C-alpha cells in the first residue's frame, strides 16, 4: 500500500492505494467519480479517458501510483469549462450519444481535438477520434457535433482555447513534416524523398505538436570506437529490438520496427536519413513511417552526441528523441508512462551497444523480421521504477 497525493478536479487528494490499482478504479471506487467509465480495461476503447497534467490518458492502463503529484481532471471537472459546455450542448443537438457509455471519454477526446486542430475536417476528426469506440451512434452525430463546435469557435472564439492553441500549435499544420519521407505501404520498399529543412532544423520545443525526450548512457569504450560503431547502420539497428533494416546506403535507410505496448501493437515501416558531423561527434537520424495496423503515422528525429569521460576510457552518449505521432496511436504518445517507456528503450539500447562493442554476438531477436519489441518486461520495469521513485529509492 502506498500513499499518493494528487490534485483531482482542482481538489487536493491524499489516498492509500495498492500498487496494482489503476487510476480508473481509484477515481471510481475511492473518489466516487463514476463519470469515468470503464469499458475494455485494456486501453482500447477510450471510455476511461481523463486528463493527467492536461494530456488525455487512459485511466484503465495508468496506475494510480504513477499519478502521484500530478493533476487529474475527470469529466466531472469540466462544469466551468466553456469549451466543454459547447461540446456537451453540441453532442445533444447532433445526437452524438445514445446510451452515453462512451460519452465521457468521447467528450474529453473531442475537447482535445478541438484545441489542437482548429481546421480539422471530417477525415481528420475521424482519424483523431479513432481511439474512442462507440457501439451506438455510428459516429455520425459525434463527428457532426465536433465540427459544429469548431465552426462556432471561428464565429465566437473562447480566449482560453486561443491561448491553448498558441501553446500547443495547430497539429494539422505539422502534417508537412510527414512529407519528409514517404511512408512505405505494407510490405513494399520505398524511396526517401528530399528532406524539408524548414521544419526539421527546428528543435522539437519549437515544432508544434512534437514531444522531446532527453537521456544519456555511458559505454565503457573510447569515443572513436563508439563513433565508428554508431555509423554502422546494420550494427546499430541490431541493437534495437524489433527493428529490421530493409536496405541502406550508408546515409539513407529503409526499415521496419514492431512494437507491442500492452494491448497495442504497431508495425512501423518507413525511411530515415543519417546526418553525421564527424568533427563534433554528433549525428541526427531523421525518419518517418506509418503503422500498417492502425494507419498511425510517426515522424521522428534521433540526435546523439558523444563525449569522452574518465580520461577517454568511457563515452557518454547523449540521446534526444523527438517525435510526433498522428492517428489512433497519438493518444498514447504523450502520457508519462510512454515517455518513461521510451527512456527505458534508450537505456536498453545502451546496454546492447555495450554488449556488441564488447564482442557479444548480435542479439538474434533483433535480426529477425518477425521479432516484435514486446514491451511487456520494459513496461513492468517502468512501473517498478515509478514505484521505487515513490518510495524515494530512485530507479
Ligand atoms: S476502459 Fe480504458 S480504454 Fe477501454
Ligand atoms: S453512445 Fe453508447 S457507446 Fe457510445
Q: Yes or no: say if 267 and 291 are a contact pair by the CB < 8 Å rule.
A: yes
pTM exceeds cut of 0.85: no
Check the CA dihedral 77-82-41-59 and report its sign: negative
Could you tell me if 162 and 185 lie in one domain? no
From 134, 139, 140, 143, the mutation candidate for ligand 2 (largest count of ligand atoms within 8 A of CB) is 134
Model confidence at 93: pLDDT above 60: yes
**What length does the chain have?**
395
Which mutation among 136, 138, 141, 143 tests ligand 2's pocket best, with the greatest number of atoms within 8 A of CB? 136
pLDDT at 327: 67
Nearest to 150 by CA among 129, 180, 178: 129
The CATH code of the domain that includes 352 is: 3.30.530.20
CATH number at residue 100: 1.10.150.120
Q: Closest-lying ligand to the alpha carbon of 133?
A: 2
> Are residues 211 and 154 located together in one domain of the fold?
no
Least reliable range by pLDDT among 8-12, 160-164, 290-294: 160-164
Task: Say yes or no: 316 and 285 in one domain.
Answer: yes
Ligand 1 site, residue 133, Cβ cutoff 6 A: no
- In contact, 54 and 116? CB cutoff 8 Å: no
- Residue 99 Cα to ligand 1 midpoint, Å, equals 17
The predicted structure's pLDDT at residue 297: 79
Instruction: Tell me how crowded residue 363 is: count the other CB atoms within 10 A of its CB.
Output: 16
> Are residues 112 and 203 located together in one domain of the fold?
no
> How many angstroms separate the alpha carbon of residue 227 from the centre of ligand 2?
54
Of the listed ligands, the closest to the CA of 138 is: 2
Q: In this model, does residue 61 exceed pLDDT 50?
A: yes
Asked if 313 and 220 touch (Cβ cutoff 8 Å), the reply is yes
Helix (H) or strand (E) holding 247: strand 243-248
Task: Give the pLDDT band of residue 32 (cuts 50, 70, 90).
Answer: very high
Q: Give the residue among 27, 87, 92, 14 at the shortest CA–CA distance from 57.
A: 27
**169-173, 177-181, 196-200 — most confident range:** 169-173
User: Residue 166's pLDDT is what?
Assistant: 63
Write down which residue in 26, 54, 77 finishes a domain: 77
Q: pLDDT at position 180, please? A: 31
Same-domain status, 161 and 208: no
- The answer to whether residues 59 and 114 touch, using CB atoms and an 8 Å cutoff, is no
Per the model's pLDDT, the better-predicted residue between 58 and 266 turns out to be 58
Distance CA 324, CA 115 (A): 17
- pLDDT attached to residue 298: 81
99 burial type by CB count under 10 A (0-12 exposed, 13-18 middle, 19+ buried)? exposed
- Mutating to test ligand 1, I would choose from 25, 35, 58, 101 the residue with most ligand atoms within 8 A of its C-beta, which is 58
Residue of higher predicted confidence among 260 and 306 = 306
Ligand nearest to the CA of 47: 1
Alpha helices in the chain (DSSP H): 23-25, 31, 82-93, 103-116, 122-128, 140-155, 159-168, 197-200, 223-230, 233-238, 330-333, 336-357, 364-367, 376-390
How many folded domains does the chain comprise?
3
With a 6 A CB cut-off, is 138 part of the ligand 2 pocket? no
Whether 47 lines ligand 2, by a CB cut-off of 6 Å, is no
Closest protein CA for atom 3 of ligand 1: 43
Please tell me the predicted confidence (pLDDT) of residue 336.
Answer: 60
Residue 211, domain member (yes or no): yes
Q: Does residue 376 surpass a pLDDT of 50?
A: no
Contact 326, 333 (CB under 8 A): no
Q: Is 383 a domain residue?
A: yes
Residue 116 lies in a domain: yes
pLDDT of 394 over the 50 cut: no
Cα distance between residue 293 and residue 75, in whole Å: 30
Q: Between β-strands 282-291 and 264-277, what pairing exists: parallel, antiparallel or unpaired?
A: antiparallel
Ligand 2 centre distance from Cα of residue 90 (Å)? 16
- Whether 93 and 127 map to the same domain: the answer is yes
With bands split at pLDDT 50, 70 and 90, how would you rate the model's confidence at 34?
very high
**Which ligand is nearest the CA of 59, by number?**
1
C-alpha 124/C-alpha 170 separation (Å) is: 12
- The whole-number pLDDT of residue 193 equals 31
Domain residues for 192? Answer: 178-390
Tens of pLDDT, residue by residue over 128-168, are: 888 899 999 999 999 999 999 999 999 999 887 776 666 55
Last residue of a domain, one of 61, 77, 93: 77
pLDDT of residue 261: 62
Q: Which ligand is nearest to the CA of 25?
A: 1
Q: Say yes or no to pLDDT of 225 above 70.
A: yes
pLDDT, residue 380, reads 44
And the C-alpha cell for 323?
517525435
Residue 197 has pLDDT above 70, yes or no: no
Does some domain include residue 11?
yes
Task: Out of 53, 77, 101, pick the residue that ends a domain.
Answer: 77
If residue 256 lies in a helix (H) or strand (E), which one and from where to where? strand 252-261
Residue 244 lies in a domain: yes
My answer on whether 218 and 94 are in the same domain is no
- pLDDT at position 347, please? 81
For ligand 2, is residue 167 a contact (CB within 6 Å)?
A: no
Which residues face 373 on adjacent strands? Answer: 259
Residue 137 Cβ inside 6 Å of ligand 2? The answer reads yes
Q: Is ligand 2 within 6 A of the CB of residue 62?
A: no
Most confident of 113-127, 157-171, 321-335: 113-127
C-alpha cell at 52: 493527467
Residue bearing cell 532544423: 201
- Asked whether residue 139 falls in the same domain as residue 69, the answer is no
Which class for 70: exposed (0-12), middle (13-18), buried (19 or more C-beta within 10 A)?
Answer: buried
Residue 98 shares a structural domain with residue 224 = no
Do residue 96 and residue 235 come from a single domain?
no
Q: Locate 204 and state its grid cell.
A: 522539437
The more confidently predicted of residues 167 and 222 is 222
Cβ-contact 75, 108 below 8 angstroms: yes
- Res 21 pLDDT > 90: yes
Q: Are residues 329 and 289 in the same domain?
A: yes
Find the range with the poorest average confidence among 115-129, 133-147, 188-202, 319-333.
188-202
With a pLDDT cut of 90, the percent of the chain lying above it is 39
Q: Answer yes or no: is pLDDT of 57 > 60.
A: yes
Q: How confident is the model at residue 263 (pLDDT cuts 50, 70, 90)?
A: low
Contact yes or no for 215/343 (Cβ under 8 A): yes
User: What does the DSSP assignment read for 38-65?
Assistant: -SSSSSSS-TTEEEETTEEEETTSSBGG
- What percentage of residues in the chain have a pLDDT greater than 70? 74
Both 220 and 185 in one domain: the answer is: yes
Q: Determine if ligand 2 sits within 6 Å of the CB of residue 145.
A: no
Task: Give the SS3 label for residue 359.
Answer: coil
What's the rounded Cα separation, in Å, for the pair 155 and 143?
19
Residue 277's SS3 state is strand
Task: Tell whether 252 is covered by a domain.
Answer: yes
395 domain residue, yes or no: no
Residue range 63-79: mean pLDDT, rounded: 95
The verdict on residue 150 lying in a domain is: yes
**According to the model, what pLDDT value does residue 226 have?**
93
184 or 76: whose pLDDT is higher? 76
* Residue whose C-alpha cell is 487536493: 12
Amino acid at each position: 500500500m502506498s500513499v499518493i497525493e494528487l490534485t483531482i478536479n482542482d481538489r487536493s487528494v491524499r489516498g492509500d492505494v495498492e500498487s496494482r490499482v489503476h487510476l480508473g478504479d481509484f477515481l471510481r471506487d475511492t473518489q466516487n467519480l463514476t463519470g469515468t467509465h470503464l469499458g475494455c480495461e485494456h486501453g482500447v476503447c477510450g471510455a476511461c479517458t481523463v486528463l493527467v497534467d492536461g494530456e488525455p490518458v487512459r485511466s484503465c492502463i495508468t496506475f494510480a501510483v504513477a499519478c502521484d503529484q500530478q493533476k487529474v481532471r475527470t469529466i466531472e471537472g469540466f462544469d466551468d469549462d466553456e469549451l466543454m459546455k459547447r461540446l456537451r450542448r453540441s453532442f445533444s443537438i447532433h445526437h452524438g450519444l445514445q446510451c452515453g457509455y462512451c460519452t465521457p471519454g468521447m467528450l474529453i477526446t473531442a475537447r482535445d481535438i478541438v484545441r489542437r486542430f482548429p481546421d480539422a475536417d471530417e477525415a481528420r476528426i475521424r482519424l483523431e477520434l479513432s481511439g474512442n469506440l462507440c457501439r451506438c451512434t455510428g459516429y455520425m452525430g459525434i463527428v457532426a457535433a465536433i465540427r459544429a463546435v469548431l465552426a462556432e469557435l471561428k464565429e465566437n472564439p473562447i480566449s482560453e482555447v486561443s491561448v491553448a492553441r498558441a501553446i500547443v500549435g495547430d497539429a494539422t499544420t505539422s502534417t508537412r513534416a510527414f512529407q519528409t519521407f514517404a511512408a512505405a505501404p505494407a510490405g513494399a520498399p520505398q524511396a526517401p524523398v528530399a528532406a524539408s529543412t524548414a521544419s526539421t532544423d527546428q528543435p522539437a520545443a519549437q515544432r508544434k505538436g512534437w514531444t522531446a525526450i532527453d537521456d544519456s548512457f555511458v559505454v565503457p569504450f573510447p569515443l572513436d570506437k563508439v563513433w565508428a560503431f554508431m555509423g554502422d547502420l546494420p550494427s546499430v539497428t541490431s541493437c534495437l529490438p524489433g527493428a529490421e533494416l530493409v536496405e541502406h546506403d550508408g546515409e539513407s535507410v529503409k526499415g521496419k520496427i514492431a512494437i507491442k505496448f500492452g494491448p497495442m501493437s504497431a508495425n512501423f515501416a518507413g525511411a530515415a536519413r543519417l546526418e553525421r558531423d564527424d568533427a563534433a561527434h554528433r549525428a541526427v537520424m531523421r525518419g518517418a513511417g506509418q503503422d500498417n495496423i492502425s494507419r498511425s503515422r510517426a515522424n521522428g528525429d534521433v540526435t546523439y552526441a558523444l563525449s569522452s569521460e574518465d580520461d577517454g576510457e568511457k563515452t557518454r552518449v547523449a540521446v534526444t528523441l523527438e517525435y510526433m505521432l498522428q492517428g489512433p496511436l497519438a493518444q498514447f504518445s504523450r502520457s508519462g508512462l510512454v515517455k518513461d517507456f521510451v527512456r527505458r528503450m534508450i537505456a536498453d539500447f545502451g546496454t546492447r551497444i555495450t554488449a556488441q562493442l564488447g564482442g557479444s554476438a548480435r542479439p538474434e531477436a533483433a535480426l529477425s523480421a518477425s521479432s516484435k519489441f514486446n514491451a511487456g518486461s520494459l513496461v513492468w520495469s517502468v512501473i517498478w521504477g515509478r514505484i521505487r521513485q515513490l518510495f524515494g529509492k530512485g530507479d
